[in-house]
Amino acid sequence: MKKIKIFMMSFAAVCALGMSSCVKDLEVTPIDPSTRFPSDALNSEQGFEQLLAKCYAGLAVSSSYGANGDPDIEGVDGGFGQYLRAYFNLNCLTTDEAICAWNDTGLPDLQNMNWQSSNQFIIAMYYRVFYQISLCNEFIRQVNSTNVVFTGNNRAAMIAEARALRALSFYHAIDMFGDVAFPSENDPVSLTAPRKISRAELFDWVVAECEDLVNGSDLAEEGQNIYGRCDKGFARMILAKLYLNAEVYKGEAMYDKCAEQCEILMSKYQLHPNFADLFAADNHLFTANTTHGSTNEIIFAVPHDGIRTTSYGGTNFLIFAGTGGDMNPTEMGISSGWSGLSVTMQVADRYTENDARHMFFTAYGKENPEAQNFTAGGYKSIKFRNVNHDGGAAQTTGFVDTDFPLFRVADAYLMFAECAKRGGASEAEGLKALNAVRARANIIAHTSYTLQDVLDERSREFLWEGCRRQDLIRYGQFTTADYVWEYKGSVKEGAAVESFRNLFPIPAAEINANPNLSQNEGY
pLDDT of 203 reads: 98
pLDDT of 16 reads: 32
pLDDT of 25 reads: 31
| Percent of the chain whose predicted confidence (pLDDT) is above 90 | 83
pLDDT of 47 reads: 93
pLDDT of 294 reads: 55
Element (H, E) at 387: none
* pLDDT tens-place string over residues 29-84: 333 333 344 566 788 999 999 999 999 999 999 987 778 777 888 778 788 889 99
Separation CA 129–CA 123 (nearest Å): 10
Q: What is the mean pLDDT of residues 308-319?
A: 95
Q: Which residue pairs from 452-455 have beta carbons closer than 8 angstroms and sit at least 24 positions apart in sequence?
A: 454/414, 454/417, 454/418, 454/421, 455/418
DSSP string for 65-84: T-TTSPPSBTTS-TTTTSHH
Q: What is the mean pLDDT of residues 152-159?
A: 96
* pLDDT tens-place string over residues 329-366: 999 999 999 999 999 999 999 999 999 999 999 999 99
Mean of pLDDT over the chain = 90
pLDDT of 23 reads: 33
pLDDT of 4 reads: 40
pLDDT of 77 reads: 79
Contact present, 95 and 485 (Cβ < 8 Å)? yes
pLDDT of 519 reads: 98
Give every CB contact of residue 506 below 8 A, 6+ residues apart in sequence.
117, 126, 177, 180, 517, 519, 520, 523
Q: pLDDT: is 164 or 309 the higher one?
A: 164
Separation CA 344–CA 116 (nearest Å): 23
Range with the poorest average pLDDT among 279-283, 307-311, 399-403, 498-502: 307-311
- CB atoms near residue 338 (< 10 Å): 18
Separation CA 259–CA 426 (nearest Å): 10
pLDDT of 292 reads: 57
Range with the poorest average pLDDT among 59-68, 238-247, 250-259, 402-411: 59-68
Q: Read off the amino acid at residue 36.
A: R
Separation CA 202–CA 327 (nearest Å): 45
Contact present, 26 and 12 (Cβ < 8 Å)? yes
Q: What is the mean pLDDT of residues 223-237?
A: 94
- In angstroms, the Cα distances linking 501 to 74, 128, 347, 489 are 27, 20, 21, 11
Q: What is the mean pLDDT of residues 220-226?
A: 92
* pLDDT tens-place string over residues 368-419: 988 889 999 999 999 999 999 999 999 999 999 999 999 999 999 999 999 9
Q: What is the mean pLDDT of residues 170-194?
A: 92
pLDDT of 281 reads: 98
Q: What is the mean pLDDT of residues 456-467?
A: 98
Q: What does DSSP assign to residue 329?
A: H
pLDDT of 18 > 90? The answer is no
pLDDT of 36 reads: 40
Q: What is the mean pLDDT of residues 119-139?
A: 96
Q: What is the mean pLDDT of residues 7-25?
A: 31
Contact present, 135 and 91 (Cβ < 8 Å)? no
DSSP string for 268-319: H----S-GGGGGSTTGGGGBSSSSSSS---EEEEE--BTTTB--SSHHHHHH
Q: Read off the amino acid at residue 7.
A: F
Q: What is the mean pLDDT of residues 490-509?
A: 96
Element (H, E) at 382: none
Band of pLDDT at residue 13, cut at 50, 70 and 90: very low
Q: What is the mean pLDDT of residues 457-466?
A: 98
Contact present, 238 and 167 (Cβ < 8 Å)? yes
- CB atoms near residue 124 (< 10 Å): 30
**How far does Cα 443 stand from its chain's mean position?**
28
Beta bridge partners of 180: 197
Q: Which residue pairs from 191-200 have beta carbons closer than 8 angstroms and sit at least 24 positions apart in sequence?
A: 191/17, 192/17, 192/513, 192/514, 193/18, 193/513, 193/514, 193/515, 193/516, 194/17, 194/18, 194/514, 194/516, 195/516, 196/514, 196/516, 196/517, 196/518, 199/174, 199/249, 199/250, 200/249, 200/250, 200/251
Band of pLDDT at residue 27, cut at 50, 70 and 90: very low
pLDDT of 6 reads: 35
**CATH code of domain 1-219+478-523:** 1.25.40.390
The pTM for the full model equals 0.93
Separation CA 98–CA 88 (nearest Å): 9
Separation CA 60–CA 50 (nearest Å): 15
Positive/negative CA dihedral, 333, 300, 41, 313:
negative
pLDDT of 489 reads: 96
pLDDT of 190 > 80? The answer is no
pLDDT of 38 reads: 58
* pLDDT tens-place string over residues 425-446: 999 999 999 999 999 999 999 9
